[in-house]
Amino acid sequence: MPSDRPRAVTINDVAALAGVSIATASKALNGRGQVRAETRDRVVAAARELSFQPNPLARSLVTGQTRTVGLLTSDSVGRFGIPVMLGAEDAFGSGETAVLLCDARGDAFREQHYLRTLLARRVDGLIVVGESTDPRPSISRDLSIPVVYAYAPSDDPEDVSFVPDDVAGSGEAVRHLIALGRRRIAHVTGPTHYTAARERAEGALGALKAAGLPLSGDRVVYGAWSQRWGRHAAEIVLNADPDVDAVFCGSDQIAAGLIEAARERGRRVPDDIAVVGYDNWEVLSEETRPPLTTMDMNLELLGRTAAQHLFAAIEGRATSGVHRMPCRLVIRDSAAPPTPR
């Protein structure tokens, strides 16, 4: 009994409608080989008219690629990793590439298990997303596929890594405060063992030095990435320099806590003290009173750029080293220019 199910369209049908050979149709649709532009357009139009869907297995046999990539993350919280992954997925989606996501949750054994799983699936490449900007161990040395590291750089300079430029970003934050007329600027940040804390302090101190200004309190106030620390740090900053008129905080959590404590001590933000945070974590930055001026690390753009670079690496056009991506100042009320009267 004949089946009522319609016959699947094949590359033979596309080639016949376009008036070309099967080999030419295949080259045109896969973007490989020398095919004249008008011929490629004719083949693509024929494929669209017939609603042709290439067979993934057949295409992988021809191209040697599966059009799948692995995305391996260690960010169990997801606060920084998720925006990076969203940006990467956007780029992969536009390139008709499927993404296999694995969350190692910061566990080295789990990471190795997922790595073996992804290799068994014959992914064309891999993006590794970290939970901080601290360098992480390279996994590239024994792999036959390209690997790109995002947010957390590889400890191997021969690998390809994309990270936010925290030195430049913190410098921009402090220059913004200086442009507002602030001259007694303090810096409160997270633990010294974090690369992000050290680099943000480096950028802040560099901007102050370039402007010929001292650091209020004479030292960077290191602590924790928390609101509780921000509240405690406010006491330290105000006791060290009662005339402090601005604070650059190494995270939005610290800034939110500092603003709360400063208000309890009768200091108005931004009238008495301007405050700038870092991360643009909107759950905090848009809900503090007043809303927080902060540096946005452009993590979706970072993820998208890492994915685009993985495409290039798959084609043999990788550029090794650590690539630093620009951050963006988001101005809100906590450190905004005065409103003209």
Q: What is the pLDDT of residues 267-289, one digit of tens each?
A: 999 999 999 999 999 888 999 99
In this prediction, the residues of the chain whose per-residue pLDDT falls under 50 are: 1, 57, 60-62
C-alpha 167/C-alpha 186 separation (Å) is 16
Enumerate helices (H) and strands (E) in the chain, giving the number of each.
12, 12
For the chain, helix, strand, coil in percent to 5 are 45, 15, 40
Write down the pLDDT at residue 244: 97
Q: What is the pLDDT of residues 41-58, one digit of tens each?
A: 898 898 888 887 765 545
Kind and range of the H or E element at 322? strand 321-325
Write down the pLDDT at residue 110: 92
Q: How many CB atoms lie within 10 A of CB 12?
A: 10
C-alpha 227/C-alpha 323 separation (Å) is 31
- What is the Cα 215 distance to its own chain's centre? 30
- Give residues with Cβ within 8 angstroms of 211, minimum separation 6: 175, 178
Eight-class DSSP state of 295 = E
Write down the pLDDT at residue 50: 84
HSE-CB of 71 using CA atoms within 13 angstroms: 25
C-alpha 16/C-alpha 5 separation (Å) is 22
Return mean pLDDT, the chain: 89
- What's the longest Cα–Cα distance across the chain? 91
Q: How many CB atoms lie within 10 A of CB 108?
A: 10
Write down the pLDDT at residue 205: 98
Three-state secondary structure call for residue 1: coil
CB 286 within 8 A of CB 259: no
Three-state secondary structure call for residue 177: helix
Write down the pLDDT at residue 6: 63
Three-state secondary structure call for residue 199: helix
